[in-house]
Structure 1
Amino acid sequence: MRQTLAETIISFLLGAAWALVLLGAAFLFWSFFPFGIVIALMAALVGSLFGLLFVVLLEVAALQFEKMRELRRQTKILESIKVSLESFDDAALRDH
């Protein structure tokens, strides 16, 4: 499957967003660890939300590209079926 430049950039940014999730969660976890494990876990969750937002947005963009590719493929198939049916109808009309 060949990817466009935009899809390649989205894939790269998706990896960067996951890195942001991990770094944000780890940084805030270790920053709040002296205050207790429960507070550190809540801080890690809050720290990962910004990156997770980007992950969701980039996944939606990737799905839209995939949807567009699939619709193009289905359109080609439907056009070939239409041409086949039209040639079949023309042949049937000539026989009568």
Structure 2
Amino acid sequence: MKHSFTESIISFLLGASWALVFLGAGLLFWSFLPFGIIIALMAGIVGSLLGLFFVVILELASLQYEKHRELKRQTDILLAIKELMESSNNASLRDN
């Protein structure tokens, strides 16, 4: 499957966002662990929120590109069907 430059950038940034999720969660978890496991878990969740926000945004962008590609493909198919129907109508009109 051929990807555009923008789709490649989105895929790269998506991977970087997942790394940010794990890095933020792990860093804050280990930083707050001396204060207790419950506080460390909450800090880890808070630390992952920024990365998760970027993951959601980039996934939405990726879905929009897929939707656009699928609509273009369906439009090409419908135009081909229209041309076939017009050519068959013209052929049947010439026969009569």
Normalising by structure 1, we get a TM-score of 0.97
Name the counterpart of 1:83. 83
SS in 1 for 2:3: coil
Gaps of 5+ in 1: none
CA deviation map 1:55-96 (0-9, x unaligned): 000001111111111111001100000000001111111122
Name the counterpart of 1:8. 8
Name the counterpart of 2:53. 53
Q: Distance in 2 between matches of 1:78 and 1:39?
A: 57
Residues 60-79 of structure 1: pairs in structure 2 closer than 5 A: 60-79=60-79
Name the counterpart of 1:20. 20
Q: Distance in 2 between matches of 1:62 and 1:84?
A: 34
Gaps of 5+ in 2: none
Name the counterpart of 2:39. 39
Q: Report how many residues are paired.
A: 96
SS in 1 for 2:78: helix
Stretches of 4+ aligned residues off by more than 6 angstroms: none
Amino acid at match of 2:88: F
Q: Distance in 2 between matches of 1:56 and 1:29?
A: 22
